[in-house]
Structure 1
Amino acid sequence: MEHYAIKARVSGRVQGVYYRRATQERARQAGLTGHALNLADGRVEVLLCGPREDVRGVAQWLWQGSPGAEVSDVAIDEIDLERGAPVDFTTG
Structure 2
Amino acid sequence: MEKVRLTAWVRGHVQGVGFRWWTRARALELGLTGAATNLDDGRVEVVAEGDRTACERLLELLRSGQTPGRVDSVVERWTNHRGSFTGFEER
Structure 1: runs of 5+ lacking an equivalent: none
Task: Please say if 1:88 is aligned against 2:80.
Answer: no
Whether contact under 8 Å (1:3, 1:51) holds in the other structure is yes
* Aligned counterpart, 1:32: 32
CA RMSD of aligned residues (A): 1.5
How much has 1:87 moved relative to structure 2? 1.1
Structure 2: runs of 5+ lacking an equivalent: none
Whether contact under 8 Å (1:15, 1:38) holds in the other structure is yes
Residues of 2 paired with 1:72 and 1:35: CA distance? 20
Q: What's the secondary structure of 1:35's corresponding residue? A: strand
Q: Which runs of 4+ in 1 moved over 6 A?
A: none
Amino-acid identity (%): 39
* Aligned counterpart, 1:45: 45
Residues of 2 paired with 1:56 and 1:3: CA distance? 11
| Count of aligned pairs | 90
How much has 1:84 moved relative to structure 2? 2.3
**Please, what TM-score do these two structures have when normalized by structure 2?**
0.90
Residues of 1 paired with 2:30 and 2:61: CA distance? 12
How much has 1:79 moved relative to structure 2? 1.7
Residues of 2 paired with 1:89 and 1:6: CA distance? 13
- Which structure has more strand as a fraction of its residues? 2
Residues of 2 paired with 1:3 and 1:35: CA distance? 16
